[in-house]
């Protein structure tokens, strides 16, 4: 038997209460894992999509919406001649409700542009012409929409045909409905409007040259911003809003966890006051009693953190598989996020235990001789 035994026995003596408290912390930590994982996944999915398309610099106007604001297609002519630019490809992307799906990425790509190059046909064929009433579906989008090659598909009022299923080598690409940009412009009535210019750079372009190019583009195109592809979504307001909301919601959930643990530990201390008096009478130091309470709450936090991480990972996988999210973003749950979540849980435990521990240190040992 050791001090740890005393700590563990303290926790298991009220199994139901301990279990409920663990559940409270777990849900808070699961919220941290799920919300932060999803918001980080949003950034990662966009970056992966651009990487898959071979994009080095993105020219777009990511303000406070999930998709960039449209601008005139002639913008491309203003930048195409700049040094270090090997090629450009214009896109019109939008989040749309397609048939029974609440929201799916619809990606109109410049006919013949390099953004088609990363798509590997899994079945069927690519569209034959810019005006052909045809789409290809990313493999996840095909699952979500329950479509196969040859099926009709309705986008807004246009009746199109699924001619191929493709693997885009990125979550966001696989979750997209892909068609020629002129066709999408016609469907949405956005003729001559685009909202993304993918820019490929000449090999060997230095970081300083990339930076300089972005500045030149910003000067030439005031209606959009040029950003290195990997930083694109991180720079957007919506990304920051989503990040802030996910952390603030998580912190609220964590706060509920703190109150839960504090309540449990306070009840523990009140209930065990006679026992604490006896321990003091038997020669235990007050510091040791404080350690006992803090260890109990820290272990509650640790266990709650581990369970919460598990619930969070499973939950976010289930969430990402729901029709409304599936294909739009890939949750980004790295070891670091899990470790931070468990650390937060332990901190929750320790912080929650501080007041009960202080209360326990105020107990008068003479009470041991009463009753």
Partner 1 sequence: MLESPVLNAFEAVGLKKDFDDGAVQALRSLDLQIPEGEFIAITGPSGCGKTTLLQLLGALDRPTAGTLVFRGVSIPDLPDPSAYRSREIGFVFQSFHLLPTFTALENVQIPMLETRMPSAKRRDQARELLKSVGLERRLNHFPSKLSGGERQRVAIARSLANSPSVLLADEPTGNLDSDNAAMILDLLVKIQQEKRMTLVLVTHDDRVAHRATRIIHMIDGHAVSDRQTGNGVYQ
Round to whole Å and give the CA distance between 101 and 176: 12
User: Among residues 151 and 275, whose Cβ is nearest to partner 1?
Assistant: 275
Go through the chain and tell me how many residues it has.
371
Nearer to partner 1 among residue 101 and residue 367 (C-beta): 367
| Residue 128 per-residue DSSP state | S
CA pair distance 342, 69, nearest whole angstrom: 39
Going by their DSSP bridges, the two strands 193-194 and 176-180 should be labelled as unpaired
List all residues 6 or more positions away from 277 whose beta carbon is below 8 Å from its beta carbon. Answer: 363, 364, 365, 366, 367, 368
**At closest approach, how far in Å is the CB of 273 from partner 1?**
12
- Beta-sheet strands, E only, within the chain: 57-60, 71-72, 85-98, 101-109, 120-124, 134-138, 152-155, 158-167, 176-180, 193-194, 196-201, 225-228
Q: Are 125 and 132 in contact (CB under 8 A)?
A: no
- Residues forming contacts to partner 1 in the complex (CB under 8 A) are 1-3, 5-6, 9-10, 12-13, 274-275, 278-286, 288, 364-366, 368-371
What minimum distance in Å lies between the beta carbon of 293 and partner 1?
15
Q: In terms of CB distance, is 16 or 191 closer to partner 1?
A: 16
Taking the least distance from each CB to partner 1, the nearer of 13 and 148 is: 13
Query: What are the two backbone dihedrals, phi and then psi, of residue 107, each rounded to the nearest 5 degrees?
Result: -120, 105
**Residue 264 CB, nearest distance to partner 1 (Å)?**
16
CB of 284 to partner 1, least distance (A): 6
Give 54-121 as a 3 state SS string.
CCCEEEECCCCCCCCCCEECCHHHHHCCCCCEEEEEEEEEEEEEECCEEEEEEEEECCCCHHHCCCEE
CA atoms within 13 A on the CB side of 30: 20
- Tell me the closest approach of the beta carbon of residue 305 to partner 1, in angstroms: 25
Pick between residue 4 and residue 245 the one whose CB is nearest to partner 1: 4
| Residue among 278 and 340 whose Cβ is closer to partner 1 | 278
Please report how close the Cβ of residue 279 comes to partner 1 at its closest, in angstroms: 7
Nearer to partner 1, 179 or 363 (CB): 363
Q: How far is the CB of 304 from partner 1 (least distance, A)?
A: 21
């Amino acid at each position: 038997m050791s001090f740890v035994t005393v700590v563990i026995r303290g926790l298991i003596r009220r199994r139901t209460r301990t279990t409920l408290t663990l559940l409270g912390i777990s849900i808070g930590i699961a919220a941290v894992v799920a919300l932060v994982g999803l918001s980080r996944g949003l950034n990662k999915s966009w970056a992966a999509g651009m990487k898959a398309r071979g994009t080095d610099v993105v020219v777009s106007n990511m303000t406070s919406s999930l998709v960039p604001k449209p601008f005139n297609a002639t913008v491309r002519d203003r930048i195409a001649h700049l040094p270090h630019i090997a090629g450009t490809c214009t896109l019109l992307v939008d989040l749309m409700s397609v048939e029974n799906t609440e929201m799916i990425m619809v990606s109109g790509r410049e006919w013949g542009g390099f953004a088609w190059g990363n798509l590997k046909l899994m079945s069927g064929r690519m569209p034959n012409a810019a005006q052909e009433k045809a789409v290809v579906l990313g493999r996840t989008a095909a699952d979500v929409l329950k479509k196969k090659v040859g099926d009709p598909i309705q986008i807004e009022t246009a009746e199109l045909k699924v001619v191929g299923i493709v693997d885009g080598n990125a979550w966001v690409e696989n979750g997209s409905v892909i068609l020629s940009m002129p066709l999408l412009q016609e469907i949405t009535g956005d003729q001559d409007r685009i909202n993304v210019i993918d820019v490929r750079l000449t090999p060997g372009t230095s970081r300083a040259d990339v930076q300089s190019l972005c500045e030149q583009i910003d000067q030439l195109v005031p209606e959009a911003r040029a950003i290195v592809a990997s930083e694109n979504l991180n720079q957007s307001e919506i990304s920051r809003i989503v990040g802030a909301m996910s952390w603030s919601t998580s912190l609220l959930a964590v706060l509920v966890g703190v109150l839960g643990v504090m309540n449990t530990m306070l009840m523990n201390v009140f209930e065990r006051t006679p026992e604490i008096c006896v321990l003091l009478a038997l020669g235990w130091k007050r510091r040791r009693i404080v350690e006992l309470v803090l260890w109990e709450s820290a272990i509650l936090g640790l266990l709650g953190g581990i369970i919460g991480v598990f619930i969070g990972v499973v939950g976010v996988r289930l969430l990402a598989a729901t029709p409304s999210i599936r294909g739009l973003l890939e949750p980004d749950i790295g070891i670091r996020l899990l470790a931070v979540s468990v650390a937060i849980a332990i901190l929750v435990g320790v912080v929650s235990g501080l007041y009960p521990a202080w209360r326990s240190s105020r107990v008068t040992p003479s009470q041991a001789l009463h009753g």
